[in-house]
């Protein structure tokens, strides 16, 4: 089954062709980083306009590079939630038009489910059930993946996402936008014990919930204090200490959940899964506990349409299709 997949939830326009949910025939991505970096973050209106300008060309290129004719497309899948509403609307409306023109089913896909499904592309042997940590600029959650379309959120951030913590910290350190990779690169030059950063606790009955707002504020305060007093700031050490703190928060919750549920298969997904400290810490922890770890290659960590095509296949098998009344949503539970 060949699925034409569309992703436009934030600042990457992506179109892919995926066969049977596991094989990527093409995956075209247009990044808008150059458009947004001067503003220090994504400008929603600019993002939506850019998606509109390039999405048709990307779709044509995806078909060409996949070696697939339009008549060979069996369904169209798209991200319909969550994301920047204007950006998501562009992808949804393009997908609705494409499905109508091709006379094929339309498959709505939740963005986070797509990130989880990126692991199916990287690891053909991976099947539910397993535990997945989904971490990105807008979301941080622990997911019990009981089936391809049967998932439950065990815990999540109460405030900022892990990726937002990295982005805001990078900004105050003068590293630009997006901040994940610059923070990661700088951290490799520093001492991860240079600064004693907090590991915020969350009050309540859920031991798997997380918080990153206090950690972000601590980094911002250290940077501002150094600037105001003229004291030196060890930027590599602060970046390394930040990566260590974020990784320890994520790792502690994930391993506790794996122990409680008895899972020996653990996956990590989303843009923040590209962080080298997090990848290394999870590899060591899973190795020490005899668990199998699944983390996508870097090209599948960020937003892409191949992951939407992968999850779209399983949504189709479960009968989850939509008609021309499909809408886009800025927020939606997993």
Q: How confident is the model at residue 246 (pLDDT cuts 50, 70, 90)?
A: very high
The percentage of the chain sitting over the pLDDT mark of 90, rounded to a whole number, equals 92
**C-alpha span between 165 and 213 (Å, rounded):** 7
Based on the fold, state whether residues 153 and 272 are members of the same structural domain. yes
pLDDT for 176: 84
Amino acid 41: pLDDT: 85
Q: Which of 89, 10, 113, 95 is nearest to 58 (CA)?
A: 95
Q: 277 and 149 share a domain? A: yes
CA–CA separation, 7 and 264 (whole Å): 31
Give tens-digit pLDDT for 189-238. Answer: 999 999 999 998 888 889 999 999 999 999 999 999 999 999 999 999 99
Residue 129 CA to residue 152 CA, distance in Å, equals 11
The CATH code of the domain that includes 52 is 3.30.420.40
The pTM assigned to this predicted structure is 0.94
Structurally, the chain folds into a number of domains equal to 2
Same domain, 136 and 259: yes
- The residue with greater pLDDT, 81 or 179, is 81
- How high is the pLDDT of residue 138? 86
How many C-beta atoms surround the C-beta of residue 112 within 10 A?
Answer: 27
Identify the pLDDT of residue 194.
Answer: 96
Model confidence at 1: pLDDT above 90: yes
Same domain, 93 and 173: no
Residue 236 within a domain: yes
Distance between CA 302 and CA 10 in Å, rounded?
11
**Backbone phi and psi for residue 54, each to the nearest 5 degrees, phi listed first:** -115, -10
For residue range 142-196, what is the model confidence (pLDDT) as tens digits? 999 999 999 999 999 999 999 999 999 999 999 988 889 999 999 999 999 999 9
Pairing between strand 151-156 and 140-145? antiparallel
The answer to whether residue 331 sits within a structural domain is no
Q: What is the pLDDT of residues 284-310, one digit of tens each?
A: 999 999 999 999 999 999 999 999 999
Range of the domain at 272: 127-300
**Whole-number average pLDDT of the chain:** 95
């Amino acid at each position: 089954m060949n699925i034409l997949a569309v992703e436009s939830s934030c600042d990457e326009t992506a179109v892919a062709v995926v066969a049977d949910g596991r094989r990527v025939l093409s995956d075209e991505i247009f990044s808008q980083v150059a458009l947004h970096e001067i503003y220090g973050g994504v400008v929603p209106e600019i993002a939506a306009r850019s998606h509109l300008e390039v999405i048709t060309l990307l779709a044509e290129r995806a078909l060409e590079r996949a070696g697939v004719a339009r008549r060979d497309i069996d369904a169209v899948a798209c991200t319909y939630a969550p994301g920047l509403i204007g950006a998501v609307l562009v992808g949804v409306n393009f997908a609705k038009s494409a499905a109508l023109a091709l006379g094929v089913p339309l498959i709505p896909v939740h963005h986070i489910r797509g990130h989880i499904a990126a692991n199916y592309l990287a690891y053909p042997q991976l099947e539910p059930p397993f535990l997945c940590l989904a971490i990105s600029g807008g979301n941080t959650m622990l997911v019990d993946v009981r089936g391809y379309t049967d998932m439950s959120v065990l815990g999540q951030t109460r405030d900022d996402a892990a990726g937002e913590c990295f982005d805001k910290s990078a900004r105050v350190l003068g590293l630009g936008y997006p901040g994940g990779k610059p923070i990661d690169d700088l951290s490799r030059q520093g001492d991860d014990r240079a600064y004693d950063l907090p590991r915020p606790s969350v009050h309540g009955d859920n031991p798997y919930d997380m918080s990153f707002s206090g950690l972000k504020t601590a980094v911002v305060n250290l940077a501002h204090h150094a600037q105001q007093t003229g004291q030196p700031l060890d930027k590599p050490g602060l970046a390394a200490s930040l990566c260590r703190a974020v990784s320890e928060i994520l790792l502690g919750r994930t391993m506790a959940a794996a122990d409680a549920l008895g899972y020996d298969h653990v996956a990590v997904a989303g843009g923040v899964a590209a962080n080298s400290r997090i990848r290394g810490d999870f590899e060591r922890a899973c190795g020490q506990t005899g668990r199998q770890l699944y983390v996508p290659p870097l090209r599948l960590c960020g937003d892409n349409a191949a992951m939407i095509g992968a999850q779209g296949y399983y949504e189709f098998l479960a009968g989850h299709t939509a008609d021309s009344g499909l809408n886009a949503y800025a927020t939606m539970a997993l």
